[in-house]
Amino acid sequence: MSHTSNFQPVLSIITIVYNNVTDIERTIRSIVAQDYPHIEYIVVDGASTDGTLEIIYNYQKHIAKVLSEKDEGIYDAMNKGLRLADGDYILFMNSGDELYAPNTVSSVFQTASDADIYYGETEMIDEKGVSLGRRRHKAPEKFTWKSFKYGMSISHQAIYIKKTICGFYDTRYQLSADIDWILTAAKKADHIVNTHRYVAKYLVGGMSKKRHFKSLKERFHILTKHYGLMSNLLNHLVITFNLACYYSKHGKTND
């Protein structure tokens, strides 16, 4: 794997937020603290009324674009962010999530030049920012579009995708469209790079946990779309077995 210090593309980091005054500042601060000079930071707010906007505007000199208006859900808001993005790569870092360290972005792009996708590992954190350890799904050594057949092994916050292979989110899905979005891009990717480092902190919870059954139904539909029904049914037998083994060893999972 080649290492380079000359490859410095523009990274569009997009934050989606709605009425999250508790967490938004932690996310913004992790982004404005980056030592990488070529970041286009975009914040898409769903017309918050709880003080979130005031915090966003406190950091306005560090934010390239702020859009605040009603939306039709999180993936509609993410599509708005994609339409605003002018960078070479896209990263979603939604409210409550954080870049792992101030040198994270620079380290990612020093790993290799001109990859279609870069990815890394994710640390889980609670609402106080306390570490809960690595996600249950460890990032695969080599990622392809087939890598999600036993679960989403790379979190949304830990994958940098070249804008030229990014589509828009399918807003028919309310909770799991990120899986479809990543797999669709991965099918177009020729050069995918594992950075072999922690790149993100993920705030556990979210809508997919609050509406877990609907999320699982959406995931099954998406994975059937990409892998076929019979393969997906067999894969889910493996998922069920793996979960049972994990629960017996660790108890209830946060991931």
Q: Tens place of pLDDT for every residue, the chain, 255 residues?
A: 445 568 999 999 999 999 999 999 999 999 999 999 999 999 999 999 999 999 999 999 999 999 999 999 999 999 999 999 999 999 999 999 999 999 999 999 999 999 999 999 999 888 777 888 776 678 889 999 988 877 788 989 999 999 999 999 999 999 899 999 999 999 999 999 999 999 999 888 655 455 777 887 888 888 888 888 877 677 667 666 556 665 566 565 445
Q: Dump strand ranges (E) for the chain.
A: 11-17, 39-45, 65-68, 89-92, 98-99, 117-125, 131-134, 159-162, 192-203
- CA nearest neighbour of 163 among 224, 87, 94, 220: 87
pTM greater than the 0.75 cutoff: yes
Q: Residue 122 CB: number of other CB atoms within 10 A?
A: 25
Classify the C-alpha dihedral 129-134-137-142 as positive or negative. Answer: positive
d(CA 150, CA 98): 26
Beta bridge partners of 117: 161, 192
11-250 falls under which CATH superfamily? Spore Coat Polysaccharide Biosynthesis Protein SpsA; Chain A (3.90.550.10)
Tell me the domain boundaries of the chain: 11-250
Reduced to 3 states (helix: H, G, I; strand: E, B; else coil), residue 17 is: strand
Identify whether the C-beta of residue 123 lies closer than 8 Å to the C-beta of residue 200. Answer: yes
